[in-house]
A and B are shown apart, each in its own frame.
Chain A
Amino acid sequence: MYTQALDSPEAAAADERESERLERFQARIDRDEKIEPKDWMPEAYRQTLLRQIAQHAHSEIVGMLPEGNWITRAPSLRRKVVLIAKVQDEGGHGMYLYSAAETLGVSRGELIEQLLSGRAKYSSIFNYPTLTWADIGAIGWLVDGAAIMNQIPLCRCSYGPYARAMVRICKEESFHQRQGYEIMLTLSRGSAAQRAMAQDALDRWWWPSLMMFGPSDAHSVHTAQSMRWKIKRFSNDELRQKFIDVTVPQAEFLGLAVPDPDLRWDESAEHYVPGPIDWSEFHAVLKGEGPCNRERLEARRAAHGAGRWVREAAAAFAEKHREPPHAAPAG
């Protein structure tokens, strides 16, 4: 705002105060102090956080849909309760994250409006379809695996409410990947048809999982500033590499082939080197041209629209039945 009136002496003074504040802010971050909602923060920091947290929240909520698609068809009662609990957890994660975003001054209603209108982004992985039961295994193993890789460093993010939400989320995530791998293990030790199902799922989910870490560092717009602010702790490529290194041996244990003919082990670097990622697909899916973009948003809109009269009724009921203050002493 002050940049518009740079000539006036008041503005120059304000400018100096601003740069001092920025310096003090950065110093706090460098000391690993947490920033809390009411603390002063640069507008760009607030916006970056808000965008990241909201995207993350939307991803959790939209992420309930592809897996929710198999709840009614889970092949055993044990698998069914596990999947319900897992999808339910993702809903909880969305809640924690919307709450964290709300501390930055935007209501959940507004954030959901941004999602439903198509203005907000969410993780492109959830725009792929779940076609067989094996996809539930592959999602838990690969998608949750990649998410955990991304999320663990965020537990140390500089913004207090986000970091606390991530601690809670990471605790809950710990069973998600394991249940997915267990499904893959059972399938890969099962009949030929089950093995084929598992391989097909890996074939379809491998590359989209790698893309979950975002564009390569060379093309990532926000990385440098976010790292300085400790909103981000590792670069996209670093995390992607880590994921590949831990996941390839897990695929080998399953006896499944990673669908990358160029994948090789680099002895000297002690890393797996993957073949080139098809970023045109990533950008297409992000732009809304993925296989299920329409269906996912439609499902969210339908739920939100169908729930309106319910939310209104509850609000109206509460209005009629205002509980008297101090009904019971807290104890």
Chain B
Amino acid sequence: MSAASESVRPEPSAEDRFEYVLRLADTSLIAGQRLAELLGHGPALEEDLALGNLSLDLIGQARLLLALAGRIEGRGRDEDALAFLRDAPDFRNVTLAEQPNGDFGATIVRQCLLDAWQLESYQCLTGSSDRELADIAHKAVKECRYHWRFSAGWLARLGDGTEESHARVRTALESLWRFTDELLTPDALDARMAVCGIGPAPALIRERWETRVATALAQAKLERPAHQHYPWHGKRGVHTEYLGHLLAEMQCVPRAYPGATW
């Protein structure tokens, strides 16, 4: 995204841009939906309010991004058409985002790994050559900074809390770690968007994510799990079974009453 390469940048195709924005949009949407499930069921009243705020930020990001995706696509689909009338294989969220909440430890681990990725991604995207995307990133990066502060804080409390809490987050970390492969492994689209100056250089995200997560794990007295290969990537539409259930619930009303306004 350096200014020097401006003159030689290739123009991205609309399909690529649409697909790329959907990755960000769907990741925020699905993560926001997951957190929304917890409202009223958190470990303390104060945490209910906190989780609600995270969810509101994420769904807010998703709405802006979905609207942008709809404009790029140019077929008249608005945020709701994209959120409620697509099937699981058309969703482009990273697989980590759709993982169930599990216990509070699993929720925190998922959020921590995801928050770090969103934070670094949006940080880079504030310099995107796509002005609209850069504007959204400017807003989102502030939110993600707080999300990270929240989830990393809790990771430390749970990792360095009691024996039980340590064991619980360690288990969650072991089981969710495989999904981080997708966050850090660029595919052809990531590479093309980086060349266009729209998306960040994948190597940069990996490096910053690694540093950030390593610090948080150290503070939480947790060991970084060994690398786990996991090539089925939600960002290419290959999801875990959880997404179908999440969508069945989320989409049921608009799909039961086609064409209705709400």
Instruction: List the interface of chain A (C-beta within 8 A of B).
Output: 61, 64-65, 68, 71-81, 84-85, 87-88, 91-92, 94-95, 98, 133, 183, 186, 190-191, 193-194, 299, 302-303, 306-314, 316-318, 320-321
Residues from chain A with Cβ under 8 Å of B62 in the complex: 77
B59 contacts the other chain (Cβ, under 8 Å)? yes
Q: Which 9 A-B pairs have the closest CB atoms?
A: A307-B43, A313-B161, A313-B165, A88-B52, A310-B43, A64-B40, A75-B253, A75-B262, A68-B40
Q: How far is the CA of A175 from the CA of B60 in the complex (A)?
A: 19
- Show 22 residue pairs from A and B whose CB-CB distance is below 8 angstroms, ordered by the A residue: A64-B48, A68-B41, A71-B39, A76-B254, A77-B29, A77-B80, A91-B45, A95-B45, A95-B46, A186-B262, A191-B260, A306-B103, A307-B43, A309-B164, A310-B105, A312-B164, A313-B161, A313-B162, A313-B165, A316-B162, A317-B156, A320-B160
| 49-77 of chain B: CB within 8 A of chain A | 49, 52-53, 55-56, 59-60, 62-63, 66
Is the CB–CB distance between B52 and A84 below 8 Å?
Answer: yes
Size of interface on B: residues with Cβ below 8 Å to A: 50
In the complex, the answer to whether A81 meets B59 with C-beta atoms within 8 Å is: yes
A310 and B59 contact, CB distance less than 8 A:
no
- Name the residue among A77, A80, A302 with the largest chain B CB count within 10 angstroms: A77
**B161 adjacent to A314 (CB under 8 Å):** yes
B83 to chain A: closest residue by CB: A77
C-alpha gap A311/B46 in the complex (Å) = 11
Chain B nearest Cβ from A64, distance in angstroms: 4
Assuming A81-B59, A133-B262, is B257 touching A191 (CB within 8 A)? Answer: yes
What is the CB-to-nearest-CB distance from A163 to chain B, in angstroms, rounded to a whole number? Answer: 21
Knowing A91-B49, A133-B262, A194-B260, the reply to whether A299 touches B41 (Cβ < 8 A) is: yes
Q: Give every chain A residue within 8 A of B174 (Cβ-Cβ).
A: none
Q: Measured between alpha carbons, how far is A183 from B262 in the docked complex, in Å? A: 7
With A81-B56, A310-B165, A314-B161 known as contacts, the answer to whether A194 contacts B257 (CB < 8 A) is: yes
B80 to chain A, nearest CB (A): 5
Chain B residues numbered 155-170 whose CB sits less than 8 Å from any CB in chain A: 156-158, 160-162, 164-165, 168
Residues of A within 8 A of B49 (CB): 88, 91-92, 95
**Chain B: minimal CB distance from A98 (Å):** 7
Q: Which residues of B contact A77 (CB under 8 A)?
A: 29, 59, 62-63, 66, 79-80, 83
Cβ–Cβ contact A309 & B168, under 8 A: yes
Given the known interface contacts A75-B253, A95-B49, the answer about A317 and B43 at a Cβ–Cβ threshold of 8 Å is no
CA distance A107 to B79 in the complex (A): 45
Cβ of B3 under 8 Å from chain A: no
Query: Is B41's CB under 8 angstroms from A303's CB?
Result: yes
Within 8 A of A (CB), among B90-133: 103-105
Q: How far is the CA of A144 from the CA of B105 in the complex (A)?
A: 34
Question: Quick check: B43 and A85 within 8 Å, CB to CB?
Answer: no
B188 — which chain A residues lie within 8 A by C-beta?
A: none
Contacts of A94 in B (CB 8 A): 45
Cβ of B36 < 8 Å from any Cβ of A?
yes
Which residue of chain A lies nearest to B36 when distances are taken between CB atoms in the complex? Answer: A71
**What residues on B are CB-neighbors of A61 within 8 Å?**
45
Measured in the bound complex, the distance between the Cα atoms of B253 and A307 in whole Å is 31
Contact B42 A84 (CB under 8 A): no
Q: Which residues of A contact B42 (CB under 8 A)?
A: 303, 307
Provide the residues of chain B in CB contact with A80, threshold 8 Å: 36, 59
B171 to chain A, nearest CB (A): 13
User: Does B2 have its Cβ within 8 Å of any Cβ on chain A?
Assistant: no
Known: A84-B56, A88-B48, A317-B160. 5 other contacts (CB 8 A): A64-B39, A133-B253, A306-B104, A316-B165, A321-B160
Q: Interface centre among A68, A78, A94, A310, by most B CB within 10 Å?
A: A310
Expressed in whole angstroms, the minimum distance between the Cβ of B63 and any Cβ of chain A is 5
Contacts of B37 on A, CB cut-off 8 Å?
71-72
Considering the chains assembled together, what is the distance between the CA atoms of A314 and B254 in angstroms?
Answer: 41
Measured CA separation A209–B187 after assembly (Å): 56
Of B42, B43, B156, B250, the most chain A CB neighbours within 10 A belong to: B43
Cβ of A312 and Cβ of B161 under 8 Å apart? yes
Instruction: Name which of B39, B80, B157 has the most chain A CB atoms within 10 A of its CB.
Output: B39
> Which residues of A have CB within 8 Å of B158?
310, 313, 317
> B261 on the interface (CB 8 Å rule)?
yes
